[in-house]
Amino acid sequence: MKGKMEVVIYDTTLRDGTQGEQVSVTAEEKIKIARKLDDAGFHYVEGGWPGSNPKDMRFFKMAKGLKFKNIRLAAFGSTRRHGVTTEECENIQALIKACTPVVTIFGKSWDLHATEILGVSLEENLAMIGQSVTYLKSKGKEVVYDGEHFFDGYKNNPTYALKTIERAFDCGADWIALCDTNGGTMTWELVEIVEDVKKRIPADRLGIHVHNDCGLAVANSIAAVRAGVRMVQGTVNGYGERCGNADLVSIIGNVHLKMNGRCLSDESLKNLTTLSMLVSDVANVPPSNSQPYVGRSAFAHKGGVHVSAILKNPVAYEHAAPELVGNHRRVIVSDLSGKSNIEYKARELGISLDGSRGVSRTVVQEIKKMENQGYQFDAADGSLALLIEKALGEFKEPFQLVSFNVIDEKKRRRSSKSLATVKISVEKEQELAAAEGNGPVNALDNALRKALRKFYPQLDGMHLIDFKVRIIEGSDGTAAKVRVLIESRDEEEVWTTIGVSSNIIEASWRALEDSIQYKLSRERAKRKDDEKSKKEKA
């Protein structure tokens, strides 16, 4: 790794990230995330503000008994309060009681905040900074000083803003983090200010902490690194207050793959997508499909021209190999697709188009017609596979619907109950079944499985795991068309099917029917492969 620029990653997901509007994690969940960040090789993890709430105190109490391989755990708080000594300040003492090797404190770098918000003199603000750092160093702590609102402070009064961080550094702070707390600094301004700071404080002792209110958090963090700053503060997935913090996932990807730098090991880089998804899951925030490097759409290709090109050379439309960050390439089939999309997707689904001239074009035309009706195949691989099989003439309908009926009953002060009856036909033999369920779709699912069990017992190993309803166009109110997506799984795979109708029950039936037909179609294809293999061996 000689010659690579080393960048220190300081994660504040557990503190700054939890200030995001939709983010909520327990102390136990914080421990889970901290362990994952440790496994990933992060350098610092800020656990929370022990002086502010019982949950963070509980986190630090639980963390005392843990041994981390890579991270140094930090407790976060402010400088001492006005009018008390560091020994008397409850906030400072809470930081000591957290028993972390690192303490991060923030102080006011903007004169407006000192005089108007805190109501103290500029000299008293400097004393609060210096005395807090000195005291924490005397307790053997590694100290990170966050210059809150530093860039706004510099733009308003550069002399005083510089005095605040110089006071912290002169009193022994190990790191000085320059904070764009309001997230309003332009990239060129930030670089000019960092260059001035470097004349007073060594660049390898500087950190950057940027918010995303102008959409520049990642760009500004990268610009600071190029200017020599060596610590980057941020959160996984960019969680944080207002518009969020700098997204460490994108920063790590850029440093490694675009800047010949190093934050984590190459192996940890390959787990970046998994890490992003895990934090998203624990924080209970839906992952962003368009998130750079790790999003589901980051390496997804929809246009026919694009797909045709990546079949020849992925570099034509990809800035990096998805495998480097643990992601994968996806080809989306839609009304914008060409033959290349269908051929790629068929191969991905295990369907051979060899010797089937014209099938790709037929499928493309059918997709364009169906998407005009509201279907969307980029998220419904199961229905797409059936569509391709039908175009090939290989689809054999495993059952036919004769009729279904759904009754939803609601009695006063009681939960509603749904009852479905389904009559199906399998090779001229009919079967009628009835079943209850939690809602009409669940009742339909139960009744259909019950009717089919006698013919296809393998359906017992298949489960519906997700059900989504989307209004396609809302101008008709409750009569609008709806799109239903059903996600199912068995022991080997997960698949999604789609149904569209102005009747939600009808749309649900179509998606449900496709889901079971896909499962049975896969079973049939597997048997054919097994038989072919036996014949070849014989």
Beta carbons of 299 and 322 less than 8 angstroms apart = yes
The stretches of 9-157 forming alpha helices (DSSP H) are 27-40, 54-63, 90-97, 111-112, 122-138, 150-156
Tokens 């009193």 belong to: 171
Beta carbons of 141 and 175 less than 8 angstroms apart = no
Residues of the chain under the 70 pLDDT cut: 1-3, 304, 307, 332-340, 343, 345-346, 348-350, 354-357, 473-479, 538
CB atoms within 10 A of CB 295: 18
Beta-carbon contacts of 103 under 8 Å, excluding residues fewer than 6 positions away, are 74, 75, 76, 77, 95, 96, 136, 141, 142, 143, 144
d(CA 511, CA 490) in angstroms, rounded, equals 17
Beta carbons of 462 and 490 less than 8 angstroms apart = yes
Beta carbons of 288 and 239 less than 8 angstroms apart = no
CATH no., domain 400-537: 3.30.160.270
Tokens of 26: 């327990």
pTM for the complete prediction?
0.73
At 28 the pLDDT is 92
Tokens 């691989």 belong to: 381
For residue 531, the number of C-alpha atoms closer than 13 Å in the C-beta half-sphere is 6
Break the chain into its structural domains and give their ranges. Answer: 5-283, 300-392, 400-537
CATH no., domain 5-283: 3.20.20.70
How distant, in Å, are the alpha carbons of 37, 110, 237, 272 from that of 40? Answer: 5, 35, 15, 8
CB < 8 Å & 24+ apart, contacts of 31-35: 31/59, 31/62, 31/63, 31/66, 32/282, 33/236, 33/278, 33/279, 33/282, 34/63, 34/66, 34/68, 34/71, 34/73, 35/66, 35/68
Q: Is 306 exposed, middle or buried (0-12, 13-18, 19+ CB in 10 A)?
A: buried
The stretches of 426-471 forming alpha helices (DSSP H) are 440-452
At 476 the pLDDT is 53
Tokens 């790629």 belong to: 344
At 1 the pLDDT is 38
